Structure 1
Amino acid sequence: MTKNWSTENLPDLTGRTAVVTGANSGIGLSAARALAEKGAHVVLAVRDRAKGEAAAATIDGSTEVRALDLADLASVRAFAEGWSGDIDLLINNAGVMLVPQRATADGFEMQLGTNHLGHFALTNLLLPHVTGRVVVVASGAHWRGKIDFDDLNRTKRYSSAGAYAQSKLANLLFVRELRRRLTEVDSPVLVTAAHPGWAATNLQGHTERPLLHAFMAVGNKLFAQHADAGALPTLYAATADLASGDYIGPKGIGEMRGAPALAKRSKAAHDQALATRLWAESERLTGVTFPLNATA
């Protein structure tokens, strides 16, 4: 890996199309801006079109804004049904973190529904269009995650931190099983994962818990790296010469900040049986299945 890798190391992306979910702010916006500056046509897939348009206006390059609410499977299906043409990069970046207990439009716990199930459905629905790579943005919080199949929606005992960690572990298990399935059908599509370390974004400001919000705000000022730096692992995972399934994060102490490097993942994130079981449950919950068949 290139020492001190930066956006200067990004390849020419002229003629490529990238879809970035949650690209109106934070590392999603930083990634979208960097990809567009290298020539990619970047689709900002966002819940709030007005915010998406405002974000797109700050990007120097080719962009468009499309509505996508990952907490509503009808919106996910509408986005996919409205798509035509190839997708060189699908970057599953959007997410919510440490929010109070609430449900998505389809009755899923909000963090699991948005961070995992929404992207699970979106990826499978768009996969016939993907020609290059799928990138899933996970988190170091996955180390504390546990997939509770008896209560995936955390209705019996809700912890915002526990639900978030479960959703981030689900991200990495999704990558594992998607890689296996793509390999099984001889697909040229790669799937990689990334995490930003501690990056100062507005994600922490959506907790709706004043004390936690204040703590996050202080932490952002004292310890976090800028969103542009936090986006580097995502950009590296999207464009560098990697093996399918690789996981990228900052190389500094505790993987909190620094240039992109291979990241560590928990024992649970390596569990193939767990990944296979979660995939089956995700198919059942979303009604979306893997769309590719083996090549002749």
Structure 2
Amino acid sequence: MTTWTPASMPDLTGKTAIVTGANSGIGLPTALELARHGARVVVAARSAGKGGAAVDLILREVPGAQAEYAHLDLADLASVREFAAGVDRVDLLINNAGIGLIPRQETKDGFELQFGTNHLGHFALTGLLLPLLLARPGARVVTVSSVAHTMGKIDFDDLGLERGYSRFSAYGRSKLANLLFMLELQRRAQRAGTGLISAASHPGTTATNIVKLGPLQPLLGVFFQSAEAGAHPSLYAATSPDIRGGEFVGPKCKILTPSERARSEEDARRLWDVSIELTGVRFEEIAYRPTSQP
């Protein structure tokens, strides 16, 4: 079987793609390839300097491309709402930005930072953009998770991890939340009769800034794959006609099976409800409607 490459991507002219964290890591080559294939690309990032530099790089690599920067801080729900209010259309939402393996910190809204940024920020963003996504035929939401989700466990009685914090388990928990969200979004979108596709990707061990090796950081590229290769699963999930809702794409664009915890519909529904409570974003367009009883 021939390994999939971005050369296989379809023409995306007329489509608008939003890539969170597109200023660095796998987000930048993701945005670059989407632009190379004709999409209008929004580089959504915290830093105007880095985001603007990413746009400049895309325009140098793809003269005539449609690329723009927009400020988005996923650790600040007010910023998420402000960003979403400025979006006019979206066909592809790539929930790519992520932080990991850091000491315990909190978002501006008081959430544990890895969970708040990697899951709650993207949950709110997706919900706020949902009406625009549902208005576009063939719209997709791709959420970047990780095989590290297998290390995660969600304690609904201690979402702030105040009773014990490990940077590794906290990261795994946020990536588990990403998969629970992706699968629940697909179930709700399908139940509501929409054509929205929700999928997830695992980039593999990639040379990005999320991995910190201290003085050995220059060796990162020797042992890990490039960010360009790490972007392939996201690009495949976002554009391949073979993708089905609920699929989890891994390295070499192989379909992976999420862990048993990630496939728990009970935990997914509970996480969904808690996320609505914490963010105030309700996904009304695909909300479950109880059947009336005679």
5 Å-filtered alignment, 1:128-277, equals 128-130=131-133, 131=136, 132-205=139-212, 212-214=213-215, 217=217, 220-240=220-240, 241-250=242-251, 259-277=252-270
Deviation beyond 6 Å, 4+ runs, structure 1: none
- Going from structure 1 to structure 2, the CA distance change for 1:293 and 1:174 (only over 3 Å counts) comes to closer
Which digits, 9 at most, give the CA deviation of each residue in 1:136-185, with x for residues without a partner?
A: 00011001110011111111111111110000000000011111110111
When structure 1 is superposed on structure 2, of 263-272 and 135-144 the one drifting more is 263-272
Equivalent position SS for 2:249: strand
Equivalent position SS for 2:168: helix
Q: Structure 1 length as normaliser, TM-score?
A: 0.91
- Going from structure 1 to structure 2, the CA distance change for 1:273 and 1:219 (only over 3 Å counts) comes to farther
Q: Distance in 2 between matches of 1:182 and 1:14?
A: 25
Query: In the alignment, does 2:21 pair up with 1:18?
Result: no
Residue 218 of structure 1: how far off its partner (Å): 6.6
Unaligned stretches of 5+ in structure 2?
288-294
Query: In the alignment, does 2:107 pair up with 1:104?
Result: yes
Residue 226 of structure 1: how far off its partner (Å): 0.4
Q: Distance in 2 between matches of 1:103 and 1:110?
A: 5
Residue 46 of structure 1: how far off its partner (Å): 0.5
* Partner residue, 2:31: 32
Instruction: Supply the RMSD in Å over aligned alpha carbons.
Output: 1.4
Q: Could you tell me which amino acid in structure 2 is paired with residue 245 of structure 1?
A: G
Residue 293 of structure 1: how far off its partner (Å): 4.8
5 Å-filtered alignment, 1:73-84, equals 73-84=77-88
Residue 95 of structure 1: how far off its partner (Å): 0.5
Q: Could you tell me which amino acid in structure 2 is paired with residue 62 of structure 1?
A: Q
Equivalent position SS for 1:43: strand
Q: Structure 2 length as normaliser, TM-score?
A: 0.91
Q: Could you tell me which amino acid in structure 1 is paired with residue 91 of structure 2?
A: D
Query: In the alignment, does 2:285 pair up with 1:292?
Result: yes
Work out whether residues 200 and 226 of structure 1, in 8 Å CA contact, stay in contact via their aligned partners in 2. yes
Which digits, 9 at most, give the CA deviation of each residue in 1:63-102, with x for residues without a partner?
A: 0100000000000011111222x21100000010111111
Residue 202 of structure 1: how far off its partner (Å): 1.4
- Going from structure 1 to structure 2, the CA distance change for 1:13 and 1:218 (only over 3 Å counts) comes to same
Work out whether residues 194 and 247 of structure 1, in 8 Å CA contact, stay in contact via their aligned partners in 2. yes
Query: In the alignment, does 2:16 pair up with 1:9?
Result: no
Q: Distance in 2 between matches of 1:40 and 1:102?
A: 36
Number of positions where the alignment pairs a residue of Structure 1 with one of Structure 2: 277
Unaligned stretches of 5+ in structure 1?
206-211, 251-258
* Partner residue, 2:95: 92
